[in-house]
Chains A and B, each alone.
Chain A
């Protein structure tokens, strides 16, 4: 199975800060990676697909980059409504795997 190592596991930042989350795959997955946002008690929601494409309707402060094994997710200016846990997920393999998640809080 392809392992997805996501870091940090949690972070605390101020409103307006730039926030960066990384995800590393255990093998080359090309750009077959999504980023999801999950708010407490809710289902996950896709924000970024194919590593860098913004899902329709998602604010432009969210972005993704990378290919191969190393990926980055960025919130350019953290907003109070961005408080959530974020997950990466690879779909290069028939056995999908998620990163461990990053819990984002407001300082």
Chain B
């Protein structure tokens, strides 16, 4: 079955960097687009970034220029490099699989989610 396991969260000072990882299993990782979604404490869901199977990527305006999504298909792992972190980036970060079949070109709904990893930006 599909499993997504995030790691790399923690406490970081404002202005510093952090890299999140998402280990995928149970499906052909290289054939699917992947997303990052975050949720600030007590708040709703906010989409962060998408990387397609062909590595084209898209970002929310709130993180564009600071965050970079990437993937290593040989390791079945998704990454989110977060630079210039701000207090407002404090959230649980989820990775999620794009819906649709393999090599689905379009961005779609999110059909499987990981359990999330908490990032706290604080001095």
A contact residues vs B (CB 8 Å cutoff): 1, 34, 36, 38, 42-46, 49-50, 55, 87, 89, 91, 93-101
Contact = CB atoms under 8 A, between A and B. Distances in A.
A43 B22 CA distance: 14
A89 B46 contact: no
A36 B99 CA distance: 13
Of the four ranges (under 10, 10 to 19, 20 to 34, 35 or more), the interface on chain B belongs to 20 to 34
B113 A43 contact: yes
Interface in B66-117: 94, 99, 106-111, 113-116
Contact of B113 (A45, A96, A97, A98): A45
Which 7 pairs across A and B sit closest by C-beta, in order of nearness? Answer: A34-B109, A96-B47, A43-B113, A98-B45, A101-B44, A94-B58, A49-B109
A46 B111 contact: yes
B19 to A, nearest CB: 21
